[in-house]
Structure 1
């Protein structure tokens, strides 16, 4: 269990540092050519790399919505849910702190004014989308994410390719939803940077817990009907 929790902390730390770091440090400089595609790939690559690296220790959730969804889908024991969510949030906050230290190393950088890759709706949505549009986007895309996770790790799936499918799914999700919400589908990722952006980011954070978790449960219940779970022993050994 200790190794599993350490893996979730490290994986979530890597996701927030790599994904949000690409948005805060690189996307702000058009001459680097990273843009929407680069940030989307960065998020996908963080999950892909850590799913292969530490996924065998913990299952490679790195996301409270995924942990809750896997529990709802019958793939994860409820007794481990709270510890997983706790270390995921702590990993995200630690990454947000490291990123804040790096970003403020540039003279004149303002965490609040920059937005610090925080998620938002209304006037804080990159494209000016409403709260309802943001909630629908986050819920539907997280539901789709859980379907990919459950399908890629089911008994019907080819073994060894799940991290690739899951990482590419997260890339696709970001390509769709960065203009709408800056893309959450991960409450820990949202909390990890909102704490440093402060103000409006903390005020809107509730949506980026509620919508992804709701979507994850819906996706997981659908996946429970569609896909056969791996043998219980294999599921437990992976955690």
Structure 2
């Protein structure tokens, strides 16, 4: 249960910190943090929780990461479903908190399911921040999750200096967001995508399948590549 609580709190912090920065701080005229600030916020959430919760649960905070580690042979299949459920519940709890805070604005008129990026949702086509197609969105999420897992696996390997793994992983997620916020609003994490889409509904929820399929596919391919081509055997 300690592991599951760690995954809950880690995913909560990722969604609250990352999506919260996008909702509250990114768009303020002249003083807002913009795409770069949101990218850094997501990276910092993972970096901080990697050190806080990583020693307890391994610090996945992402169903795709759990599945990628399983594919690489570094995670027990019996723990997969409990981890994924904890991550999704953590993300939903954070989204609920964000919605409650957003409701505190005097000019808040409710969520608009016809607007790209509403409530920090992910999307493609008309719901991509810059109008990128389904194919472009899928390739982006697949490739970025694949490399994210390769970085995680390499940085946490026995031959690596594991004390610095959280820094490498946090910076990797920052870079991923710098690349892909204009394309999909950046997922690489099905729990993060689900938490926001469930609150908005409509087309963002209909497009959610891609933000499960592409990250999971990329993560599993990365796990197999690392296990069979890159891992240094004893």
Q: Is the 8 A contact 1:155 1:228 kept in 2?
A: no
What secondary structure is seen at the aligned counterpart in 2 of 1:194?
A: helix
Q: Structure 1 residue 30: deviation in Å?
A: 2.9
Report the equivalent of 1:111. Answer: 111
Alignment TM-score, normalising by the size of structure 2: 0.95
The answer (yes or no) to whether the contact 1:12–1:91 under 8 Å persists in 2 is: yes
Which of these residues, 161, 164, 178, is aligned with residue 161 of structure 1?
A: 164
Aligned to 1:49: 48
Within 5 A, what are the aligned runs for 1:135-146? 135-146=138-149
Q: Compute the TM-score of the two structures, normalised by the length of structure 1.
A: 0.93
CA distance in 1, matches of 2:201, 2:123: 12
| Cα deviation, residue 201, structure 1 | 1.1
Q: Does 1:226 pair with 2:221?
A: no
Contact 1:18 1:42 in 2 (8 A): yes
CA deviation after TM superposition for structure 1 residue 107, in Å: 2.1
| SS across alignment from 2:107 | coil
Distance 1:10 1:49 in 2: 12
**Judging changes above 3 Å, is the alpha-carbon distance between structure 1 residues 15 and 117 closer, same or farther for their aligned structure 2 residues?**
same
The answer to whether structure 1 residue 173 and structure 2 residue 164 are counterparts is no
Corresponding residue for 1:11?
A: 10
CA distance, structure 1, for counterparts of residue 43 and residue 231 of structure 2: 23
SS in 2 for 1:40: helix
> How far is 1:198 from its partner?
1.2
Q: What are the within-5 Å matches in structure 2 for residues 48-197 of structure 1?
A: 48-109=47-108, 110-112=110-112, 113=115, 115-197=118-200
Give structure 1 regions of 4+ aligned residues with deviation exceeding 3 angstroms: none
Q: Please report the RMSD computed on the Cα atoms of aligned residues, expressed in angstroms.
A: 1.3
Unaligned runs of 5+ in 2: none
Aligned length: 229
Contact 1:156 1:227 in 2 (8 A): no
**Residue 44 of structure 1: SS of its match in structure 2?**
helix
- Residue matched to 1:215: 218
- Alpha-carbon distance in structure 2 between the residues aligned to 1:193 and 1:139: 20
CA distance in 2 between counterparts of 1:107 and 1:200 reads 27
User: Which residue of 2 is the match for residue 236 of structure 1?
Assistant: none
SS for the counterpart of 1:119 is coil
Structure 1 equivalent of residue 20 of structure 2: 21
**Cα distance in 2, alignment partners of residues 106 and 87 from structure 1:** 30
